[in-house]
Structure formats: C-alpha cells, structure tokens
Amino acid sequence: MTQMLRPAAEWELQSMIAKLVTNRQTAEVVGNGALRNAGRAVDADVVVTTASLRGLTLYEPTELVMSARSGTPLADIEAELGLRDQMLPFEPIDMGPTTGSPEGALSIGGVFATNASGARRITGGSARDHLLGLRAVNGRAELFKSGGRVMKNVTGLDVARGLTGSWGTLAIITEVTFKVVPQPAATGTLVYTGLPDDLAVEVLTTALGTPFEVSGAAHIPRRMAARLKLVALADAGTALTLLRLENFPAAVSERQGKLQAALKVYGTPMLLDTAASRALWRELRSLSILPYSADTSLWRISCVPTKGPEIVASIQKSMKADAFYDWSGGLVWLEVPTAADAGSADVRRAVAVRGGYATLVRASPQVRATVEVFEPMKPEIERLTRGMKTAFDPAGILNRGRMYASI
C-alpha cells in the first residue's frame, strides 16, 4: 500500500516535501479524499494528506472573515458559521458522492483547490472570489503566504486566487482565509413547470436581468426532476425551472410578486416558502440528483448561459444524455451513457462550436486516464501553465498528472 504522509504542522509538511525532493519521489495530494475519484488519477510514490491540518484559526463574525487550516472538514466550518447565522457566500458543492466517495469528506482546502462553487455563484460569486489569503508549501518545500485577512488587498500579485482551481498541482495549501456572509433571513423559490430547455433558459436569464437579485437560477428537465427527494416537486412529472430569492421576509415576498409580474408571459409559477426552498437548494447543492452510477459518466460544462440548451441538444443527437442546468444555463451537468471515451468527442465538439469548457467529472479510472479530463489547453495557455508548474514545483512532485498529463 502507498505510504501515507500526514503532516500536523506546516514545518512538518515542509520537511516532508524537502525529503521527497531529495529522494526524487512524487506525491499525490489529498484532503480527506473526497475528490479522489474526480479528475485524472495520480500514480505517485506517496500520498500526502492535509487531514491532520485541522481547525479554525480565526473567526470574526462582525468583520465577515474566517481562517481555517486546509484539512478542516467543510461540514465543521459550516456548523461553526451556522451558530452565528452566517454562511459561505458561494454555496460550495461536494463532488464526492456523485463520484463514488463518501459524503461529507470534503475539506475547506479542497473547496478552494477546486474552486467548487454552487448555485449562488451567479450573483454571490465563486469560491475563488471569496478567498482572501492563504498559506501553502510549494514543490520547493518553501512555506509562503499570499493575500491576507482583509477584504481589499492589492498588495503584490494575487497568487492566492491564482492557486484556486489548481488541484494541488502547484502547492499544498495549509491554511485559507475567506469571506463569509450573513444567512438570508428568508428564502423563496418560483417554480415554473413544463418548459422546454431553451425557453427555461430564457426565463432564467430574463430573471437575472431584473433588479430583484435572483440568487439561484436552475432548470431540471423532466427525467432528472423525477429524481428529486422533495416529493411535491418530483411527483409533478414535469420539467422544473427554479428561481431563488433571498432577503428579509418582506423583501422576499415583495420581490416574488414583482418577479412574477415581470415573467408573466411564461405562466404562473408555484411558490416555495423558506423551508421548502432551503430543502430544495440544499438537495441541488449535494448533487444528489446525479447519484453515483457505473452505468453513466458525468460531464460538467461551463458555457455562455444562452448556449447551454443548444450544446445539450447537439450532444443528445448522438447519445442519450440527461442534463441539469445551473447558473441560468451557464453550468450544465450532463449525464451520458458509459462509453470508452465517455462521449468525449461529441461533447467536446458540441462545446467547441458554441464556446465553453467541458470537464469529465465521473468516469471509470481507465477512461479518465485515456480521455482528457479538463478542456485541452490552447498552446499559449499551455506554455504559461507549464511555466507556472515549473515555478512552483520544478521537480514535478506534487499531484503530477492530476489535471493534465505531465503537469
């Protein structure tokens, strides 16, 4: 079995990395292993886990800031925030369960290393947007910091945000500092039923063009909607188009009325109250409508919102594919039948023509080893990407191959 290194302090991680450099050994970097089945698999000499780098180091509710060691479970962070009626602004999603890993294992380091943003991204911003600073150890065994604990900070290059989405290939994050926000007092959801995908996206983008601060804009076509745990919606037997409003109670009800009036031509929506709304969006956030299955592969497509339905329709011409649209159509979770290339050729062609990026989230290890998991890079981007890898990790020991072969 591969040796597992479990540093409990930054200096310990530094000395472990230094030793790996000396011994010319490579390392797979994990938190609590929640994302081990997502992305490309890493074949490394040892595993380094941040699981023992754990605990909050700063929480100032009135300054909306928190710091935590990177291995702290996301669930612990959210529990602590909940005590003060606060939350993470970007509603992080956990790709663990849909890729066959246990639920609730995701660490806060993993959230930022993969920029795992949920539905609120459309108005609230992404994980990357709310990162204020971090500490990390790079492949040179150097401990460094970037950013800080204050909201506005343009001191030097923004290396901290530059590390979000790098999947542990540049440095091992040891501590993150991020912005938090108050939980909204009330939530309401408008549910339009029976709309085809293109019309649904029209509703969603129109709603986002109103002043009512829609904080969730998703569309679940009929077959996928039947999987919802929320019985009232699952049993509707129809496609569901969802618009979330969050604010003080009076403002939510006022905005519901105004938004409904602005969207009158699309019919009369069902209205979900705070409790039902929260249950629904929590369910969507957990990706439980995309349960792990060996019979299907899962793609995550980021595109211009109005192009989402076209991309899906184009792919559906060549295979049976089921979609779930978030971000008003700009994020498509696409389930396709298991195949040798997970439908890669068709998916990438459909996306390339219309602009966007496709990431293969779930597929067998063999498929993920042979098919490009992340969108292939253009030559100039690849040149800069390789340059960054060399700058942070010249010996190529950290999570080599996790995103792209040989990087």
Partner 1 sequence: MSRVAMPEPDAGPLQRRSIIVDDLARLVGRGALIWDEDGRRAYETDALTAYRSMPLLVVLPRSTEDVSKILRYCYDNSLKVIPRGAGTSLCGGALPTEDAVVLCVSKMKRILDVDYANRTARVETGITNLAISGKVAEKGFFYAPDPSSQLACTLAGNLAMNSGGAHCLKYGVTTHNVLGLKMVLIDGAIVDIGGSCLDAPGYDLLSLAIGSEGQLGVITEATVRILRAAEGARPMMLGFDAPETAGACVAAIIGAGIIPVAIEYMDRPAIAVCEAYAGAGYPLDVEALLIVEVEGSDTEIASLLAQISEIARPFAPKSIEISADADQSARIWAGRKAAFGAIGRISDYYCMDGTIPLGALPHVLTRISEICGGYGLKVANIFHAGDGNLHPLILYDANDPDSNEKAEAAGADILKLCVEVGGCLTGEHGVGIEKRDLMSVQFSQTDLAVQMRMKSVFDPAWLLNAAKVFPLASSEPMRAAMRFEAPAAA
**Looking only at residues 16 through 45 of this chain, which bind partner 1 when binding is defined by CB under 8 A?**
none
| Binding segment (CB under 8 A) for partner 1, from list 26-34, 69-77, 135-143, 287-295 | 135-143
399 binds partner 1 (CB under 8 A): no
Binders in 372-391 for partner 1, by CB under 8 A = 374-375, 377-378, 380-381, 383-385, 387-388, 390-391
Q: Which is nearer to partner 1, 32 or 174 (CB)?
A: 174
Q: Which is nearer to partner 1, 32 or 117 (CB)?
A: 117
**Shortest CB 304 distance to partner 1, Å:** 5
Alpha-carbon distances of 406 from 22, 46, 49, rounded to whole Å: 20, 17, 21
Write out the two tokens for 113: 């290393």
Q: Quick one: which of 122, 191, 224, 263 contacts partner 1 (CB under 8 A)?
A: 122
Q: Which is nearer to partner 1, 32 or 247 (CB)?
A: 247
335: exposed, middle or buried (C-beta count within 10 Å: 0-12, 13-18, 19+)? buried
**Position of tokens 């310990």?**
12
Give the sheet arrangement for strand 322-326, strand by strand. Answer: 270-272, 186-193, 240-247, 214-220, 322-326, 331-337, 296-303, 356-362
**Position of tokens 């060549």?**
318
352 binds partner 1 (CB under 8 A): no
65 binds partner 1 (CB under 8 A): yes
**Shortest CB 1 distance to partner 1, Å:** 32
Binders in 184-203 for partner 1, by CB under 8 A = 185
Q: Quick one: which of 210, 288, 338, 364 contacts partner 1 (CB under 8 A)?
A: 210
C-beta of residue 259 within 8 angstroms of C-beta of residue 203: no
**Shortest CB 77 distance to partner 1, Å:** 18
Torsion sign across C-alpha atoms 295, 299, 300, 303: negative
232 binds partner 1 (CB under 8 A): no
Q: Which is nearer to partner 1, 36 or 130 (CB)?
A: 130
Backbone angles phi and psi of 242, in degrees to 5: -120, 135
Runs of H (alpha helix) within 174-324: 197-208, 222-225, 231-234, 249-262, 274-285, 308-316
